[in-house]
Amino acid sequence: MDAGATWDLSQILSKTFAESGATGPIVRTILLRDRQFVGQRFRCEGFQAVLLAGKGEIEFFDQAGELLKTVRSEETEKKAAA
């Protein structure tokens, strides 16, 4: 995600984790492959979200690793424009 993106990552993370029942602190981990940035992982009380570089979406997973929800940047940009 670039600095010009219109979606607010921290707001999306906080809201979606809260909807899942997780309200603790969010811990961010930078993901690297062969010393190259490939994305970020966010954890909150056993739940996690993954934002891969250049993908334009955040995938949210429950405590068992099952996909709960995918938020695409286009969806949040449309809501912001409305």
How far apart (Å, rounded) are the C-alpha atoms in residues 17 and 62?
10
Q: Which of 2, 5, 3 is nearest to 76 (CA)?
A: 5
Query: Which residues, 6+ apart, have CB-to-CB distance to 13 below 8 Å?
Result: 26, 42, 44, 49, 58
Q: What is the pLDDT of residues 63-82, one digit of tens each?
A: 999 999 999 976 544 444 44
Q: What is the pLDDT of residues 33-71, one digit of tens each?
A: 999 999 999 999 999 999 999 888 999 999 999 999 999
pTM for this structure?
A: 0.78
